Structure formats: structure tokens, C-alpha cells
């Protein structure tokens, strides 16, 4: 038992911060997810920050429109901070992994992406950036699925029945007035201004959304790398040349020579990038307007220049999302 109220069941998952347990709440007779943080000072401090952020979100989110996970309770258990959440299904990432990295159907890509933008718009209106958006931090409310057997691939394929989801993990969320650490975001979803140390704010979340949308659509990570220079080379191969004014302003001038990325195409890394990356539009999985609009939106989210990148409100008004139930009361026309 935790806190003489939560009966511990199974382990739902674990990470560097600690574990997530499936527990039965004796007070409400419901199952909940309890995030138990390691008894380590820096994780404890991060948990306190996450609690503060979640409580602020809930104060503002009277109508449960934010699509952010709800914190039900928290307590300290022998030095372990414990956060109690409503119980959800698998993460958008884990579902895809269990499905052999098959991409989501385009209609589900649309619905999942739309909800992500709605949640991020809510945070941005609170003058906050999430800074760690990725498919692991998006949980399906319920990940029950339909299974069909693919005779050609000789394996089962799953399709989630209901693609409703919630955004989680606010441990790195940063308010505009707070200290902005130099490096944020998990590598594959990290915006160019972060890599180049040009300073960042809300647009870095929008870049991450572009990367996530691509991953849901194709089943693989757009920037599969662990190194800055290679990451920048991949961006150039997929999205075109990095603007010279960003290169000049960057403190990371060692990556550039005479305003151009200092990158040897003939090296083994150069070959890897050449063989594994192609221009964005070449990843199209189908014809038709929806696929066109999808890439148009992703292109606008993956604009190198943060001030030119679509913001959350503009993204929601993009034609790719037409037909989705709008959470914004104002409709704006989108110019391509």
C-alpha cells in the first residue's frame, strides 16, 4: 500500500526518473497510475516542478479541454515523490513499436496530431513551452485495438480503436519568465535554434510536432542521429540549406565554414546521411489531397526560422485539419 490508500498492482513502466505503477485507489474504487520518483534530489526537484505545472494547467482547464494528463493526487513516500494520474493506455510510441513500427492510418495521424496541437496551444497560451514533445509522451486514453492478419507480411497488424490521447510529462516544461537551459528536447525532436544555441521559446515545440507528425505518418524517426553536425546535415538533405544568417549568429561556428555547413559528404557519416535521407516530399505514402496537405503542414512546422514557423493557433487552422472539431473559437484563413 502507498499512502494507506493505493494498493500496488503491476509495473506499468520505468525510466531514469523512477517507476510507474498500476494501483487500485481504495478511496475511489478506481485504477490509477502512480509515478514513483527515485529518492534523488534532482529527480525530486523535477517532480515538484512537474506538480506545480500540472496544478497550474488544472486551475486554467476548468472544462477539461487542454488534453493534458490530469494529476489526481501527490504525496511524499519516504523521500519518494509520488504523483497519481488517471490511468491511460499505451503511449503513441509503444503502440507503434508493438505494431512493428507500422505507420498510423492517415485519418489517425490527423486526429492524433490535431490533439497534440490543441494541448500545445493551451500550454503556449499559458506562456509556457513543453520542451520534450515526443511520441513517448503522448498516451492513448485507451489503446484497445482491432487486430487483422496481414498475409503478405505474415504477421498481425493492429489498429487502435479510439485515437483519443493525452499529453504527459511536464518535468521539463518552462514558463517564459523562467531560466531557459541551453539544451532542451530529446535529440530527434530538437529544433535547429536549440542545436545552434540561438535561444529558444514556443516555436521549438512546433518543430517537435513536425517531427512527430512525420513519424506517425511513416513509422520511423525523421532525424535518426545522435550527433549535432550530422543532425544539421540531415536537416539540409531533407529541408534544404540552413539560412546563412542563422549560421553566422550561431555560437557553434565550428559547424560552419564561410557560412556553409562544414560537412564531408565523402565520409562514412556523409554516406549514411546521403543513403538514409531524401527531400521531405519524397516520403509521400500516397496520392490525393490529404497527403499533399499533410506535407504542406509539416513543411510549415519544419521551417528553420522560429519566427516564420507556424504557431499552434495557425497550425490548427491549416486545411489538413479541416473537418476536425475546432477548439478555437476564432477561425482564421490559412495562406499557403
CB-CB contact of 38 with 28 (8 Å): no
156 classed as catalytic: no
Give the β-pairing of 138-140 and 128-129.
unpaired
Which residues share a beta bridge with 175? 128
CB contact set of 257 (below 8 Å; sequence gap of 6+): none
Give the β-pairing of 165-167 and 138-140.
antiparallel
**DSSP character string of 161-230:** S---EEE---TT-EETTS---S--S-GGG--HHHHTT----THHHHHHHHHHHHHHHHSS-SS--SSHHH
The answer to whether the annotation marks 313 as part of a ligand binding site is no
Q: Which of the residues 25, 132, 169, 303 is marked catalytic?
A: 132
Instruction: Return the half-sphere exposure (C-beta side, CA atoms, 13 A cut-off) of residue 250.
Output: 26
* Alpha carbons 317 and 307: distance in angstroms, whole number: 18
Query: Cα torsion at 300, 138, 219, 268 (round to 10°)?
Result: 80
Binding residues: 35
Binding residues for ATP: 35
Task: Please identify every residue annotated as catalytic.
Answer: 132
Amino acid at each position: 500500500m502507498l499512502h494507506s490508500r493505493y494498493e500496488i498492482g503491476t509495473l506499468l513502466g520505468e525510466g531514469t526518473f523512477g517507476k510507474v505503477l498500476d494501483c487500485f485507489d481504495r478511496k475511489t474504487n478506481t485504477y490509477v497510475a502512480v509515478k514513483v520518483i527515485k529518492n534523488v534530489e534532482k529527480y525530486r526537484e523535477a517532480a515538484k516542478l512537474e506538480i506545480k505545472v500540472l496544478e497550474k494547467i488544472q486551475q486554467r482547464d476548468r472544462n477539461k479541454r487542454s488534453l493534458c494528463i490530469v494529476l489526481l493526487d501527490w504525496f511524499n513516500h519516504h523521500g519518494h515523490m509520488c504523483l497519481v494520474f488517471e490511468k491511460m493506455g499505451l503511449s503513441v510510441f509503444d503502440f507503434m513499436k508493438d505494431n512493428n513500427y507500422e505507420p498510423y492510418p492517415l485519418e489517425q495521424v490527423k486526429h492524433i496530431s490535431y490533439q497534440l496541437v490543441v494541448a500545445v496551444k493551451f500550454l503556449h497560451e499559458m506562456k509556457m513551452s513543453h520542451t520534450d514533445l515526443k511520441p513517448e509522451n503522448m498516451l492513448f486514453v485507451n489503446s484497445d485495438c482491432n487486430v487483422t492478419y496481414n498475409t503478405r507480411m505474415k504477421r498481425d497488424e493492429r489498429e487502435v480503436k479510439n485515437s483519443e490521447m493525452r499529453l504527459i510529462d511536464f518535468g521539463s516544461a518552462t514558463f517564459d519568465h523562467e531560466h531557459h537551459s541551453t539544451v532542451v528536447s530529446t535529440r530527434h525532436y530538437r529544433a535547429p535554434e536549440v542545436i545552434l544555441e540561438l535561444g529558444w521559446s514556443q516555436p521549438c515545440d512546433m518543430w517537435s510536432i513536425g517531427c512527430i507528425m512525420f513519424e506517425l505518418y511513416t513509422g520511423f524517426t525523421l532525424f535518426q542521429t545522435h550527433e549535432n553536425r550530422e543532425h544539421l546535415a540531415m536537416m539540409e538533405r531533407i529541408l534544404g540549406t540552413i539560412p546563412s544568417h542563422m549560421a553566422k549568429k550561431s555560437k557553434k561556428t565550428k559547424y560552419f565554414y564561410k557560412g556553409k555547413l562544414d560537412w564531408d559528404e565523402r565520409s562514412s557519416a556523409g554516406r549514411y546521411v546521403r543513403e538514409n535521407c531524401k527531400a521531405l516530399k519524397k516520403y509521400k505514402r500516397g496520392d490525393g489531397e490529404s497527403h499533399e496537405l499533410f506535407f504542406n503542414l509539416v513543411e510549415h512546422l519544419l521551417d528553420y526560422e522560429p519566427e516564420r514557423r507556424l504557431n499552434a493557433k495557425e497550425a490548427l487552422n491549416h486545411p489538413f485539419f479541416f473537418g476536425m472539431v475546432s477548439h478555437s473559437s476564432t477561425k482564421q484563413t490559412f495562406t499557403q
